[in-house]
Amino acid sequence: MAFCGRRDIIRVARTGLPPGEIFDHGSIIDQDQREETMKKDRDVIKKRRQFLKTFGGTALFLPFVGIAACSGDKEAAAPASKPAAAPRPEPMPEPEAPTAAPAGGAPARLSEDDPQAKSLSYVHDATTLEGSQTRYKSGQACVNCALYKAEEGAEWGGCSIFPGKEVKATGWCSVYAPKPG
């Protein structure tokens, strides 16, 4: 006889179970039923192990697939079949023609109406921003900015934020960074 605990011993003594029966957590189970239950449990454990081997291994492999897809290797990341065509986005409006370049092949001058200039709150005259709610502080201007590249005393100069265009020395935008020193 196998017992689960002290209570089981007391219950067996009270009920007078025959020696071939096992008392299991308050219910009477014969040896054949117990072996059948244990066999089912073993089958469940085998299935669980097989599941974990299959899908656990796959879960470990997935990060490597993601790395291969993001690595820029087009052969590894190429899809097996061509996906359905996504709807085409609406075409962007044509950018405004740049202002005429001064003689000598200098870059075009940046307009305050340029989409990039608008997004960065660019203005030709920084003093017009006095008292506004922008990040502007008195004394800031393109001529004092670390991104401004021009000869000393030039009215217009290049800026690394607006490549190919010149900004006014008295201008200002939200990317302003003071020159070091």
Distances (CA, A) of 102 to 44, 139, 156, 178: 83, 28, 11, 28
**pLDDT at residue 65 is higher than 80:** no
CA-based R_g, the chain, Å = 39
Count of other CB atoms within 10 angstroms of residue 170: 16
DSSP per position, 17-70: --TTEEEETTEEEEHHHHHHHHHHHHHHHHHHHHHHHHHHHHHHHHHHHHHHHH
Count of other CB atoms within 10 angstroms of residue 57: 9
Pick among 1.10.630.10, 4.10.490.10, 1.10.10.10, 3.20.20.100: CATH of 108-168: 4.10.490.10
**Whether 8 contacts 23, CB under 8 Å:** yes
Residue 53 or 104, more confident:
53
Binned at pLDDT 50, 70 and 90, residue 97 comes out as very low
**Whether 121 contacts 177, CB under 8 Å:** no
3-state secondary structure of 181: coil
Whole-number pLDDT of residue 40: 87
Whole-number pLDDT of residue 77: 47
Structure token digits, residue 21: 């029966």
- Average pLDDT over the chain, rounded to an integer: 76
Whole-number pLDDT of residue 29: 61
**pLDDT at residue 53 is higher than 90:** no
Cα–Cα distance between 133 and 136 in angstroms, integer?
8
3-state helix, strand, coil in the chain (%, to 5): 35, 15, 50
Whether pTM > 0.85 for this model: the answer is no
Amino acid residing at 34: R
Map out the domains of the chain as residue ranges: 6-77, 108-168
Cα–Cα distance between 84 and 117 in angstroms, integer?
37
Mind listing the pLDDT tens digit for each residue in 115-158?
999 999 999 998 888 877 778 888 899 999 999 999 888 999 99
3-state secondary structure of 87: coil
